[in-house]
Structure 1
């Protein structure tokens, strides 16, 4: 069984439901029956942003799952669908976040709308959301968690509210900082900087998975097909991308997600032919099926080269051929066994 997503508009999350048929989405207006089932015996609610779903996030999620199994509760991750003014600075879209959280084994992902709760005091948030809506028995959050209007509450506030108003009937579990190999705190902020600097191996160390892009294949200019390198085009989302250029990738396709294809991808403006539009285009090796409208997941493995403007389409074709040959050799050296590089 896949994760159950509760959100304002399931259309926004349709890509994940198409990519993984086990994942179900429920709109807010239809949430009551599902929540009644989830909260019947109590829930473990995990609070936070979870951008990137990095190693620190995974630890708190796994600890929550262990507690839920021990107590016979259901697990819910409560987070915002979008954080105000942060879309262009996010590691993962809501769809990508849902995919990563599902793989850990959480039962429900509740994507709240910020405007619904932005004026709640810390006390109102605990009573109206955690107690009434979720019948919470255990709360998990990070050491730097804040909540309530204007971020007026923190973990100390939360502890005081629980002890004062609920006579310690609710358990509070605080995740301490998780450190990397250099004894530095793993954080989404550091990962964002690594991505911006195209330091993919450092980002992967903190994430414990490759940087991913999930999206529906859309129609592009179809130039790639005319020069012998057909591409799957994805919408350029508001999120952090590594620097413009060409990358070696894994690709998984809707209804065939257990198979991993190799390929190369261009992120950028395509300055040779289409300098005004940002694009994400994946050329999948040894693949010639029509996948327009299907959802794919791309795992970014390595940067091959930076984006370059060529003098002609012929020069561009020659370079793409060179990139593909280079990456096929790199696959033989390191990436042939896909199970070891995810």
Structure 2
């Protein structure tokens, strides 16, 4: 997959099959659209193109909104690279770009820049200034500019439509199993291991403190999770706490991972932590001794889960 960082840098003399969207999460609904795009493009000797935007439009148009995204742009790119796409175009979204009318977008972007032969979009897709464009207008413009349009209906799991919004809500509510089922892969947090207060080591549970750089990255509900991470090519399991450490008077939210049977120096390394199972809510204990006892129970529960599910 070739990554292009602007529609103005994209050149294809060959006709293309295109899909457009934010694709936050690259969830199973997104994956179905992309699989269809890639397979049809190959079958018709065309190039497959996915056009997405960064920053997210809401970051630009609603700056007062504290948006939280399932993926960083780097994570989204890595997920899309696995799909077989020929091209990923990440176009910088701006207020100026948002003012393109639906007709301008179709003519100037889809036709003149992307050389679109077929557009495949998800259910209820809107585009152009004030999101005025819809499937009816696309169908009308496609006849004018000689390309075809196909809309894929909403994808369901147990009759519940999959959406990035529902996945975000599931993660915020601690419904990790639901979120991971919708995503089709484990939700993850990626960050650098930084110095902490080293309290975990003093109570027999040394932790790696993870600093997630991107302020827009969604941090799931506070609590304790079963996790895995590949470190120097080896898959390592552990448990992670997201929270304020109320038992030891923590003053800000931290993300701390205790790996089982692993004690190498991880400072300044970048780790990708995959969340497998939500163990429990964060609690305040009456003493550090009670906290230690609970952590022992958490470790046993986590290892039981891993032995039955991995």
Distance 1:312 1:333, change over 3 A: same
Residue 99 of structure 1 and its aligned partner are, at CA, apart by: 2.5
- Which residue number corresponds to residue 91 of structure 1? 70
Q: Which residue of 2 aligns with 1:294?
A: 269
Match for residue 58 of structure 1 among 31, 42, 67: 31
Name the SS for the 2:67 alignment partner. Answer: helix
User: How many aligned positions are there?
Assistant: 301
Q: Please give the alpha-carbon distance, in whole angstroms, between the structure 1 residues aligned to 2:267 and 2:286.
A: 30
* Deviations 1:245-292, CA, capped at 9 Å, x for gaps: 101112124x52xx4221101112222335332222222222222333
Counterpart-to-counterpart distance in 1, 2:91 and 2:66: 15
What's the TM-score, normalizing by structure 1? 0.79
Q: 4+ residue stretches of structure 1 with deviation over 6 A?
A: none
Alignment of 1:1-342 (within 5 A): 3-7=1-5, 28=6, 32=9, 35-36=10-11, 39-81=12-54, 82-84=56-58, 85=62, 88-115=67-94, 116-164=96-144, 166=145, 168=146, 170-180=147-157, 182-236=158-212, 237-253=215-231, 256=233, 259-273=234-248, 275-335=250-310
CA distance in 2, matches of 1:113, 1:284: 38
- Structure 1, residues 95-144: CA drift from partner, whole Å, max 9, x if none? 22222222222233222222151111112112222233322222121121
Q: Give distance in 1, aligned partners of 2:91 and 2:186.
A: 27
Kindly state the Cα deviation for residue 171 of structure 1 after the two structures are TM-superposed. 2.4
**In structure 2, how many angstroms separate the alpha carbons of the residues matched to 1:71 and 1:244?**
48
SS of residue paired to 2:255: strand
Tell me the distance in 2 between the aligned counterparts of 1:219 and 1:109.
Answer: 36
Change (3 A) 1:45 1:328: same
| Further displaced range: 196-205 or 221-230 | 221-230
Do the aligned partners of 2:188 and 2:272 also contact (CA within 8 Å) in 1?
yes
Distance change in 2, residues 1:229/1:150 (3 Å): same
Q: Distance in 2 between matches of 1:274 and 1:136?
A: 58
TM-score, scaled to structure 2: 0.87
Unpaired stretches in structure 1, ≥5 consecutive residues = 8-27, 336-342
Q: For structure 2, which runs of at least 5 residues remain unmatched after alignment?
A: none
**Closer, same or farther: CA 293–154 of 1 in aligned 2, 3 Å:** farther
| C-alpha RMSD of the superposition | 2.4
Give the match's secondary structure for 1:53: coil
Q: How far is the alpha carbon of 1:41 from its aligned partner?
A: 1.9
**What SS does the aligned partner of 2:48 have?**
strand
Deviations 1:52-111 (A, max 9, x none): 222111100000010121122222221221231465343222222222222222233222
Return closer, same or farther for 1:102/1:87 CA change in 2, 3 Å cut-off: farther
